[in-house]
Structure 1
């Protein structure tokens, strides 16, 4: 009788333990979901505005390297001051973490520089649609380098629809510029490397989102300064006449840069490289709406239709799971 009672107690304990573990997993899943939703909203908001703000910044101050230098330096200093004031949790510079993030900084800087150079010569829709064609490439790179499964049929159709929308736009772009498309293609190559390597570094170097942002911005300050010297863009400032518009545009880009940097590193740590790329494409719908309201250099109606098809196709994308899933108890 005692043995039966003992066995019964063990079964009850096992059930309670199982229920407790299940509840814990549900709470962790709910917390992760809420964090991802917050990350997407924060990144989408910043990304939608950042493209327009950068376009205005390089229009009123036609020196992309100078604009980037101001953005990066402002972000690094702002994060350091907020950390010292106890407002955010950042990380101190540590040699073994600086090394992998040096390449992150270079990739990040390369993507930013080719981004603003593209915006200097092309309309915003041109850039957005070429960006919309990147998820299909990142999906393959995700599989080859980051251990993700290939997308399912629904996701492939979504990615192909994005690509078809991009191709349709190219044929309707009434503002075709060879120089602009040359910069877009340069950005395309750099962006692909940026998405994959930064995701690799985020997953393998333990830093807070603010820490990742601090490392990247601080380590990119010197390279972008040297880039400005080599391209002689700093000479533009010699005869440049500052106006209220140019000061406001540059200041706005610096503030937006801090928020954009944090939100993107937060989200990169939560979802796959392909999902991050798709989210970045989807949130550009806000950019299109804003651009159509305030800018006179935008695409034709046919081009905008192709653009909207391209962007909305991303709604049907589903994130591919890891080929070797990380056990729940080992996740951060």
Structure 2
């Protein structure tokens, strides 16, 4: 009996380092996933803006991006570079709605960028975490944010309101598309997080399913809108001039397709690691790089006061802390939070 007690006492000191090492390893994975997604998200908005400038056909751009991503993942799986599950009817059923939500968010995103400056889109993106936090509580079992986090989210909203008061480039059609994106984006964030948590597919598998299943509806949209035929015959217009394929447009489109693969994977990976609200806050914060680049390359900017308010929005997100689950998950389930739960 005494020997057993001594053995237990000797084993205890070894347990803490193991737990600490595992926690550090998980925290490092999340940190890397956040950095990868932040980099992709910050650059993707600029790349898409370039695409729409050179090729003013949002559905055609989306079709090419989605098709390229799906084909690229299948090719990499064939050569053993990645491991993506093949399409299966039963596994695909929950992802049909995921694909539609994903497509709706992408389409309204691109349409917003077609009719508004990048800052206009970003400021509305800054206000989404407040709504997602409530939906996280109602549908995904998260606790409500603590006081510090609400203060952070409130500062984001205040900065957004201030920005709108400085925005001289107000366009009813542009803001109408932003509102449409806002509604679709909220559903997208919550439902995709739910589907990811319930799915047994690998990260590459989920990425492949989402892009592949979205190709068909976006093809239909392209045909109905007439954009596909307009592109083929050069009937699109850009700044009162007939659109013609060019080297700059081809390079921008190619870059957007390649970036789409990395963006899709990094987003799907991060969704599985953190809460829907945290994912939204991370996406909002990383747009600071987009604002800086946008100010350097575009003529259509916000005013100095508007940009100052936008910076307040983005940096306020640094104070947000991820809310824990109201009911702790079993030990066998994938953990929803890692480390200190701080984004």
* TM-score band, normalised by shorter chain: over 0.9
The yes-or-no answer on 1:241 pairing with 2:244 is: yes
Q: Which residue of 2 aligns with 1:29?
A: 23
Indicate whether 1:84 and 2:87 are aligned: no
How many residues end up aligned between the 2 structures? 326
2:270 aligned to which of 261, 267, 270? 267
Match of 1:134, SS state, is helix
In structure 2, the partner of 1:108 is 102
CA drift of 1:17 comes to 4.7
Query: Which whole-Å CA distance do the structure 2 matches of 1:103 and 1:17 have between them?
Result: 50
- Give 1:236 shift: 2.0
Aligned-residue offset at 1:327 = 3.5
- After superposition, the C-alpha distances for 1:267-326 in whole angstroms (9 at most, x for unaligned) are 000000000000000000010111111111111101100100000000000000001112
Deviates more, 1:21-30 or 1:182-191: 21-30
User: Closer, same or farther in 2 for the Cα pair 1:212/1:16, shift >3 Å?
Assistant: farther
Partner of 2:295: 292
Aligned counterpart for 1:177 among listed residues 171, 177, 196: 171
- Equivalent residues in 2 for 1:144-293 (5 A)? 144-237=138-231, 238-239=233-234, 240-293=243-296
Separation (CA, whole Å) in 2 of partners of 1:272 and 1:23:
27
Question: How many Å separate the matches in 2 of 1:24 and 1:330?
Answer: 19
Shift of 1:16: 4.5
- The CA deviation at 1:135 is 0.1
Higher helix share: 1
Q: CA offset at residue 12 of structure 1?
A: 2.8
Counterpart CA distance in 2 for 1:235 and 1:179 is 24
- How far off its partner does 1:219 sit? 0.4
2:55 match: 61
Looking at structure 2, the residues matched to 289 and 236 of structure 1 have their Cα atoms a distance apart, in angstroms, of: 34
Q: Using the TM superposition, give the Cα deviation of residue 25 of structure 1 relative to its aligned residue in structure 2, in angstroms.
A: 2.4
In 2, Cα distance between equivalents of 1:262 and 1:33:
19
Query: RMSD of the TM alignment (CA)?
Result: 1.2
- Partners of 1:235 and 1:172 in 2: how far apart? 40
Alignment match of 2:314 (pick from 311, 314, 321): 311
Comparing 106-115 with 87-96, greater Cα deviation is found at 87-96
Shift of 1:20: 4.4
Q: Could you report, residue by residue, the CA deviation over 1:218-238 in whole angstroms, capped at 9, with x for unpaired residues?
A: 000001000111111112211
Counterpart-to-counterpart distance in 2, 1:36 and 1:121: 35
Residues 18 and 89 of structure 1: CA distance in aligned 2, closer, same or farther (over 3 Å): farther
The two structures have a TM-score, normalised by structure 1, of: 0.96
Q: Which residue in 2 is equivalent to 1:322?
A: 325
What is the TM-score when the length of structure 2 is the normalising length?
0.93
Look up the SS of the partner of 1:133 in the other structure.
helix
2:32 pairs, out of 32, 38, 43, with: 38
d(CA) in 2 for partners of 1:10, 1:322: 38
SS at match of 1:192: helix
Matched residue, 1:3: none
